[in-house]
Structure 1
Amino acid sequence: MSNLNAPHGGELVDLIASEQQLEGLKSEAGNLASWDLSHRQLCDIELLLNGGFSPLNGFMTESDYQSVLDNMRLADGTLWPMPITLDVSEDFAAKVAVGDKVTLRDPEGVVIAVLELSDKWVPNKTEEAEKVYGAADEAHPAVNYLFHKAGNVYLGGKVIGLELPNHYDYKALRDTPAELRAKFAKWGWRKVVAFQTRNPMHRAHQELTFRAAREQEANLLIHPVVGMTKPGDIDHYSRVRCYEHILNQYPEQTTMLSLLPLAMRMGGPREALWHAIIRKNYGCTHLIVGRDHAGPGKNSQGEDFYGPYDAQELLQQHEEELGIKMVPFQMMVYVKEKAEYMPIDDVEEGMTVLNISGTEVRRRLQEGLEIPDWFSYPDVVEELRKTKPPRHKQGVTVFFTGLSGAGKSTIANALMVKLLEMGGRPVTLLDGDLVRKHLSSELGFSKEHRNINILRIGYVASEITKNGGFAICAPIAPYKQTRREVREMIEEQGGFVEVHVATSLEECERRDRKGLYALAREGKIKEFTGISDPYEAPETPELYIDTVDCTPDEAAQRVLLKLESMGFIK
């Protein structure tokens, strides 16, 4: 391994093994403890191996991790705002010891790297959430990931790469930092402005990026994230097709598109600093930083997690140390009288400002309404319409949740029949008992197994939804976090309508045909929802039904009316 001097930026760390090392590592890897990398870990290790995370030479040690939390610096004082750690399960952590080597594999089992384990520790996740993201609030996607998806033990140490993760998509657009720096040098691009995005680009984005590059007398790199972004974002395949269309709107040989395999944390100010370091490693000299850069939206109290200009202020404090200049994002608005976009600060009093929010764009796509040419380009809108057709053409999951005996299965069956009568889309019922029989027969009723069962139902429903069908699910699904994971999984593919069948515990016990509640009261059934295990009621379901005061027909009709009001049926 060596450091590569490059024409742009500082030195890049090269963690890929030499040919001499490769032979020994390949034969050794099969005998080591092996960890399958998650999607986020795979993104992280790609940027470690290709130099995008220079000067890191592996997953952080405990001292580096703690220093980053406390000071936004590595233990040696180098500015670095985001912890990059290998989180693993407690079971796996118990199998390895400091001094061991660990094989790191992709989901297909291909060996990507070997970790030389130097540190193993149990982090204080609440401290990490508060120091890195500003609050231990699970409304923040990274905090939710930290508490519910990340392993409880962190491993640190140097990594030696055998090969970069393989991508089958957009190979011509996937440049390593060294490759991108070499292109800039070859083309004579001495000043390069990077534009970070996780969303499709419209006319306002084209205008502000063009102006930013022109004002700096620099070339422009559109550098979208195609690793992990915020749940609910448009998939990167659709976005890249949009970016390819929008490239035609820039003067020739001034602008290029390259893809960044980053797993975003939506960490606001710290993330902006992180993005700047990464873009410096990719050879850029400037980074456009917008209002609420990499912000995750609202917290549990309905307030923004970060101030609108916190990211700009933090990066401004450190841009000299980093050696990359910030270009502040000026909000661009369309001025009717001038028939052009202008920075909002330049708009004179009395002028008519036109703007469409992201929420309004989604609504227009969902309802098949016009998106005006002044807002976006026709070929970009066409791509978005392919990905996000009107709601009545999308697949949708109706997810019933409630206590045993609440009436979920009865209403679900009635709804299935009514949807089959209407026709137009295939309908699949994923009843809790039927799924248990055909998909999860090996599972018990522990909390872990119940969660696995619900996630299996969610996965099948997401595939049905993706392919334009109706999926009707009727499990108990007692846990809020598991339902959230199912919602996120399905909303990437289409619609999700949660129906809380909120029949009281007393009424459910009174109806108890199978005698399950009685057995639970006697202690013969352990961890029974509502008796010895909690039911976490939904806080904001799309629909709330109490079957005490309505028949199954009436309940199913209420669901149909809700689907109609949301635009899923016409």
Structure 2
Amino acid sequence: MVSANRRGSGPRSGAEHVDTPVFTPGPDGLAHLELILNGTYPLPGFMTRTEAEAVSRDARLPDGRPWPVPVILEVPEELSGADRLTLTDPEGAPLAGLSVTEHWRDQGGGHRLAGAVRLLRPPTYGVLRELRPSPAEVRAQRELEPSGRPLLAVVTDRPLHHRALHQIRAESQTLGRAYGEGERAEVLVLIDTGLEDEGMAPAVLAAEPLLPARTSFVVCTLPRTADRSRGALGGVWGPREVGLAAHVAAAYGATHMMAVTDGEGLDVERVMARRPPLTVLAPEPWRHSAAQGLWMPLTQVDPTEARAELTDAQVETELAHGRELPAWFTPARVGAELARLRPARTKRGLTLLFTGLSGSGKSTIARGVCDGIRRSGRSVTLLDGDVVRRMLSSELTFSREHRELNIRRIGYVASEITRHGGVTVCAPIAPYAAGRAEVRAMVEEFGDFFLVHVATPLEVCEARDRKGLYAKAREGKIPEFTGISDPYEEPQDADLVVDTEGITPEESVARVMAALREGGWLPDHDG
């Protein structure tokens, strides 16, 4: 969000500033900003080009200090010349004043601003705000009851199943042995989740009774670096992001850290080579012994009886079809919370996005699919491309910028319906891959996304041209017409491809309905 902040509400430094621009950073920018402002980062603000490039290249700042990831602020072109900004949260509340010392561009041409930030008011935006104390507050609380024992930070954005819980208890016991028989290190669970979405935090908190007695919880939001992909049940971490987690954990007073990942293949040596400020542990692998019905260190389990935990894909499949997770894999409390967070797909919000050329049959198929979904007993909303243009985007042109804005509006409406468990069927042309990806990201924060590419060839679409649009586009009367004078970027990530050439609309609808039933979003039979 960009706007002009008039007299009286901008950051001050001596003389009163007029027309200080106001800017809401993106998710990564907000994550960095909060970690700067609350003292987690030992940095005054956002990095210069020299600093960012040194960190990317060497995992060090120019002064030699180890640091794992660039801390950058991306801004739109119209703000690239600003000498100060007021940075706000997504609701417009001022968070910090930025004194710009450098404008620079990355290799992709993106605009960046560097400079120190000054706190204007403590943040109030974001989920689980009551679990977001500053590092100084956590350290002060520990100083009130000093034990002298190590503090093991467990950084996770995924549920704690039996394997991880056994590893945490074992590492806590090992670290505490130096302080007496039966002693354990204290444990701080750092739950990484977004500012707008609780993610897996409730499932992590559900494991509290199974963790060591002196365990506390803190919620924070780490930026999503290129090393890390995001799944429904947690992320896949790379060395840079584990390194960042180590710096965050150290700020909270931790002496040791372990990251809970989707497996046991974390390359701790690569992480430690970057000189993190604490010891990053590589927990001993554990397996479930099918014969004894116990989780045990891998070295104590007969290889023929060893059973690894379920993969994320297997967990998602079980949850999607409403099946209870097995007790050997996860505690009942965690399983119940996961079932609430990831309900069966028949109860989960869903957005279907139909994309294809004008005349491909998108709207016809979408209406038929809506009828079928309705008959199955689920509520459904149709966002047809032409109707949305009239009702939500009548002021927009067909420029690329406005087409992307139109798709963004559709995505926002669809994500809100998805958030509340409804089904949305969208049928715009959606010609650009970036716009479709943005809609997918918005929707998948709250539910499921299913992309259908109606891949009817251009010549067939043109032959069906009831409105005469292609003819006008060929004559130059309609500029920027998709497929003629403007590109259509075919999806590479479609969940289903339907070519309507040579088949009836009913057959196309049946293909989509069959895919939805097979995926578990609809009952096996219509109601």
For the criterion TM > 0.5, the same-fold answer is yes
The correspondence for 2:249, drawn from 269, 273, 279, is 279
Query: Are 1:223 and 2:223 counterparts?
Result: no
1:346 Cα offset (Å): 3.8
For structure 2, the residue ranges without an aligned partner over 5 or more in a row are 1-9, 177-184, 228-237
Q: Is the 8 A contact 2:355 2:430 kept in 1?
A: yes
In the other structure, the counterpart of 2:89 is 106
Q: Distance in 2 between matches of 1:199 and 1:62?
A: 34
Q: Distance in 2 between matches of 1:238 and 1:38?
A: 18
Query: Are 1:166 and 2:130 counterparts?
Result: no
Query: Are 1:255 and 2:215 counterparts?
Result: yes
In the other structure, the counterpart of 2:140 is 182
For structure 1, the residue ranges without an aligned partner over 5 or more in a row are 1-21, 126-150, 229-234, 294-306
TM-score by length of 1: 0.82
1:57 Cα offset (Å): 0.8
Query: Are 1:51 and 2:39 counterparts?
Result: yes
In the other structure, the counterpart of 2:240 is 270
Which stretch of structure 1 is more off in the superposition, 466-475 or 261-270? 261-270
In the other structure, the counterpart of 1:419 is 373
Which stretch of structure 1 is more off in the superposition, 177-186 or 261-270? 261-270
Report the AA paired with residue 36 of structure 1: T
Which stretch of structure 1 is more off in the superposition, 424-433 or 333-342? 333-342
Q: Distance in 1 between matches of 2:99 and 2:246?
A: 28
Report the AA paired with residue 374 of structure 1: W
1:226 Cα offset (Å): 2.2
Query: Are 1:314 and 2:314 counterparts?
Result: no
Report the AA paired with residue 527 of structure 1: E
Report the AA paired with residue 220 of structure 2: L
Structure 1 residues 367 and 410: CA distance shift in structure 2, 3 A: same
In the other structure, the counterpart of 1:325 is 279
**Aligned counterparts, 1:389-400, within 5 A:** 389-400=343-354
TM-score by length of 2: 0.88
The correspondence for 2:258, drawn from 288, 291, 294, is 288
Report the AA paired with residue 339 of structure 2: R
Report the AA paired with residue 262 of structure 1: L
Q: Distance in 2 between matches of 1:569 and 1:483?
A: 24
Q: Is the 8 A contact 2:59 2:274 kept in 1?
A: no
Structure 1 residues 168 and 72: CA distance shift in structure 2, 3 A: closer
Report the AA paired with residue 222 of structure 1: V
In the other structure, the counterpart of 2:326 is 372
Query: Are 1:386 and 2:340 counterparts?
Result: yes
Instruction: Please state whether the residue corresponding to 2:198 is helix, strand or coil.
Output: helix
1:240-273 CA distance string (max 9 Å, x none): 3223321111342x21111123223252112222
1:76 Cα offset (Å): 1.1
Q: Is the 8 A contact 1:498 1:542 kept in 2?
A: yes
1:238 Cα offset (Å): 5.7
Q: Is the 8 A contact 1:289 1:329 kept in 2?
A: no
Q: Distance in 2 between matches of 1:452 and 1:262?
A: 28
1:419 Cα offset (Å): 2.8
In the other structure, the counterpart of 1:528 is 481
The count of corresponding residues between Structure 1 and Structure 2 is 495
Q: Distance in 2 between matches of 1:559 and 1:247?
A: 43
Instruction: Please state whether the residue corresponding to 2:102 is helix, strand or coil.
Output: strand
Structure 1 residues 84 and 463: CA distance shift in structure 2, 3 A: same
Structure 1 residues 523 and 104: CA distance shift in structure 2, 3 A: same
Instruction: Please state whether the residue corresponding to 1:558 is helix, strand or coil.
Output: helix
Q: Distance in 1 between matches of 2:205 and 2:154?
A: 15
In the other structure, the counterpart of 1:241 is 202
In the other structure, the counterpart of 1:434 is 387
Q: Distance in 1 between matches of 2:417 and 2:128?
A: 27
The correspondence for 1:460, drawn from 413, 418, 422, is 413
Q: Distance in 1 between matches of 2:328 and 2:100?
A: 55
Report the AA paired with residue 309 of structure 2: N
1:65-108 CA distance string (max 9 Å, x none): 222122211111111121101111111113x2xxx332222222
Q: Is the 8 A contact 2:152 2:188 kept in 1?
A: yes
The correspondence for 2:20, drawn from 9, 32, 56, is 32
Structure 1 residues 112 and 80: CA distance shift in structure 2, 3 A: same
Structure 1 residues 308 and 391: CA distance shift in structure 2, 3 A: same
**Aligned counterparts, 1:472-551, within 5 A:** 472-551=425-504
Structure 1 residues 335 and 172: CA distance shift in structure 2, 3 A: same
1:416 Cα offset (Å): 2.1
In the other structure, the counterpart of 1:193 is 152
1:117-165 CA distance string (max 9 Å, x none): 111111214xxxxxxxxxxxxxxxxxxxxxxxxx821111111112221
Report the AA paired with residue 226 of structure 1: T
Q: Is the 8 A contact 2:266 2:282 kept in 1?
A: no
In the other structure, the counterpart of 1:209 is 168
**Aligned counterparts, 1:10-159, within 5 A:** 28=16, 31-54=19-42, 56-94=43-81, 96=82, 100-125=83-108, 152-159=110-117
1:351-392 CA distance string (max 9 Å, x none): 342531111111111111121112112122111111211112
In the other structure, the counterpart of 1:8 is none
Which stretch of structure 1 is more off in the superposition, 482-491 or 174-183? 482-491
Q: Distance in 2 between matches of 1:26 and 1:429?
A: 54
1:339 Cα offset (Å): 2.5
Q: Distance in 2 between matches of 1:238 and 1:262?
A: 13
1:171 Cα offset (Å): 4.1
Instruction: Please state whether the residue corresponding to 1:257 is helix, strand or coil.
Output: strand
**Greater share of residues in helix:** 1
Structure 1 residues 545 and 349: CA distance shift in structure 2, 3 A: closer
Q: Distance in 2 between matches of 1:562 and 1:336?
A: 35
